[in-house]
Structure 1
Amino acid sequence: MAAGLLAQGYVAQRELATAAFLALRLQRPLFLEGEPGTGKTEIAKTLAALLGRPLIRLQCYEGLDLAGAAYEWNYARQMLEIKLGQLAGDDLFAPRFLIPRALLQALQQPGPPVLLIDELDRADEPFEAYLLEVLSEFQITIPELGVIRAAEPPIVLITSNRTREIHDAVKRRCLYHWVDFPSAARELEILRLRVPGAPERLSRQIVAFIQGLRALDLYKLPGVAETIEWSRALLELNALELDPETVQSTLGVLLKYQDDIARVQGSEAARLLAQIRAEQGHG
């Protein structure tokens, strides 16, 4: 599994690759929790590409309900057919009036898709209760129609940035994996793969600087996504190595809160750069 993910451009830890493999074999949802920017969403995209399956993504948000996540009725079409006299009373909730959203779409696919339920922690807690039927039985009960069950279970990945705790009832129905920030060696491997045009010396300095940032008490630590974006930004500036002026002018690519930028710029950035040069040498 790790080799397959790598072939698609995703550098996975052995534990994550094993969790994904077992989720596929056991037909169990995979619950991925961790800091933002650690590649949780990306693995769903990578799995879909690896398996040649469509990706159906449900982006969670506050106030998400059945109409946004599962289905809603096409009331406008119902009313139109009633006015035209084309609708008998017992046909009011016929399947043709059903508008499927992400969850129902995933159950109705002819071949099992990858269903990504992204950032579940952003949704309200009551929404989790509705997910239980989908996660355990791979079905949705529609009061007016009955039960719609997947012919083949979709491959379900759920992500959470842990802004709040997800209920145990959801987690019990899933395999669980905590996606941590990568080690320096793995992050360098990711950079080589995702930003192949970056000079080796610069890539090593970027990784060392970001690893140093993650040791600081910042409000929001930079993730792998920021590592890649910063590398590309530095290439656009024709940087060959890190220097104080370049770091100072590009901190907004890495850090998204002014308090964090103020904490790092100046002496803290200079200290990290000096440490990197001492460890890696000037040559």
Structure 2
Amino acid sequence: MRTDWFTSPDDASSALRESGYLADSATATTAFLAGALEKPLLLEGPAGVGKTELAKAVARARGAELVRLQCYEGLDEARALYEWNYKKQLLRIQAAGGSQDWSSTHDDIFTDEFLLTRPLLSAIRRDAPTVLLIDEVDKTDVEVEGLLLEVLSDFQVTIPELGTIAATRRPYVVLTSNASRELSEALKRRCLYLHLDHPDLERERAIVVGQVPEIDEAVARQVVEVVAQLRELDLKKTPSIAESIDWARTLVALEIDDLDEEVAVATLGVVLKHVSDQKKAAHELISRRRK
């Protein structure tokens, strides 16, 4: 069992806390196991609950390089893994002026000098501690999951012109998903799984205070209570933890020591980014005040 990353769940919890991430018991335990078992960690849950931030916190906690593959519809092998620098290869061929046979030319242009490494290959080739973040994997096409299987199974990449490149030091891999589509069982089998949801009031208050130490404890509690109320509404986009923190910073900047309904309505743009959501929330907050 490897202990390069964390020696125990308690060590993971402590290290993550020192790097600014307040992890609950399940998160700390799974973060430890991902390093100890050298298995990718699949984090699933709604947007804004700290999935991406966990990968960043692991990198900060252990002084590792963060390599990020941001997934999107249409992502392909050239953007995720590698591609050849065709323009540079063409210049080399032209410079040779036809003095070489094709076999020699082939060996000359298909080398590291002409290889453009993308996040997956970059992470595999690094000798130093590396956290590979594959962010929002559910946004890719299903075919991309097949590309990930070789990488996540054996931590190696096969390049036809160069052969198989295996990791000399396995990266700490974190995949995130907002569950916009079901991921394949083959991909899930290769990962440890953790579902992250919005934290309870007390933990979110602790997160807010940790990130915004200047805020009054009572105001921090008001922030997380109002945010919890907003999350109960039928909104297009519910407020994330990051938006709770932004709201707390806003109140500190405005020197507000009481988040009443009037202040909440006036600053809703910090946490709600759709007009319909703001109108719905304002109506709810004002209605509760009248009650």
TM-score normalised to the size of structure 1? Answer: 0.93
- Kindly indicate whether the alpha-carbon contact (under 8 Å) linking 1:40 and 1:159 is maintained by their aligned counterparts in 2: yes
Q: Secondary structure at the match of 2:73?
A: coil
Could you say what the CA RMSD is over the residues aligned between the two structures, in angstroms?
A: 1.5
**Paired residue for 2:226?**
209
- Kindly indicate whether the alpha-carbon contact (under 8 Å) linking 1:19 and 1:175 is maintained by their aligned counterparts in 2: yes
**Paired residue for 2:118?**
101
**Paired residue for 1:270?**
286
Is the aligned partner of 1:190 residue 2:207? yes
Q: Deviations over 1:65-103 (max 9, x none)?
A: 111111110111111111110873232312221110100
Which residue identity does 1:156 align to in structure 2?
A: V
* Runs of 5+ unmatched residues, structure 2: 1-11
**Paired residue for 2:72?**
61
C-alpha displacement at 1:4, in angstroms?
Answer: 1.2
CA distance in 1, matches of 2:92, 2:106: 13
Q: Secondary structure at the match of 2:14?
A: helix
Is the aligned partner of 1:47 residue 2:58? yes
C-alpha displacement at 1:243, in angstroms?
Answer: 2.0
> Taking structure 1 as reference, are residues 82 and 213 closer, same or farther at Cα in structure 2, changes over 3 Å only?
same
Which of 161, 173, 184 is the matching residue for 1:156?
173
TM-score normalised to the size of structure 2? Answer: 0.91
**Paired residue for 2:93?**
82
CA distance in 1, matches of 2:137, 2:106: 37
Is the aligned partner of 1:181 residue 2:192? no
CA distance in 2, matches of 1:256, 1:17: 32
Is the aligned partner of 1:6 residue 2:17? yes
Greater Cα shift, 154-163 or 233-242: 233-242
**Paired residue for 2:40?**
29
- Kindly indicate whether the alpha-carbon contact (under 8 Å) linking 1:209 and 1:272 is maintained by their aligned counterparts in 2: no
Q: Deviations over 1:152-197 (max 9, x none)?
A: 2110000011111111111110000001100000001001100000
CA distance in 2, matches of 1:270, 1:26: 52
**Paired residue for 1:281?**
none
- Percent of residue pairs identical: 47
Q: Secondary structure at the match of 1:265?
A: helix
* Runs of 5+ unmatched residues, structure 1: 276-283
Q: Deviations over 1:232-257 (max 9, x none)?
A: 11212211111222211211111122
CA distance in 1, matches of 2:244, 2:290: 20
Q: Deviations over 1:141-162 (max 9, x none)?
A: 1122111110121100000111
- Kindly indicate whether the alpha-carbon contact (under 8 Å) linking 1:212 and 1:272 is maintained by their aligned counterparts in 2: no
CA distance in 1, matches of 2:289, 2:58: 37
C-alpha displacement at 1:62, in angstroms?
Answer: 1.2
- The number of equivalent residue pairs is 274
CA distance in 1, matches of 2:245, 2:153: 37
> Taking structure 1 as reference, are residues 45 and 272 closer, same or farther at Cα in structure 2, changes over 3 Å only?
farther
Moved runs in structure 1, 4+ residues, more than 3 A? 271-275
- Kindly indicate whether the alpha-carbon contact (under 8 Å) linking 1:213 and 1:221 is maintained by their aligned counterparts in 2: yes
- Kindly indicate whether the alpha-carbon contact (under 8 Å) linking 1:198 and 1:231 is maintained by their aligned counterparts in 2: yes
Which residue identity does 2:254 align to in structure 1?
A: L
Is the aligned partner of 1:134 residue 2:134? no
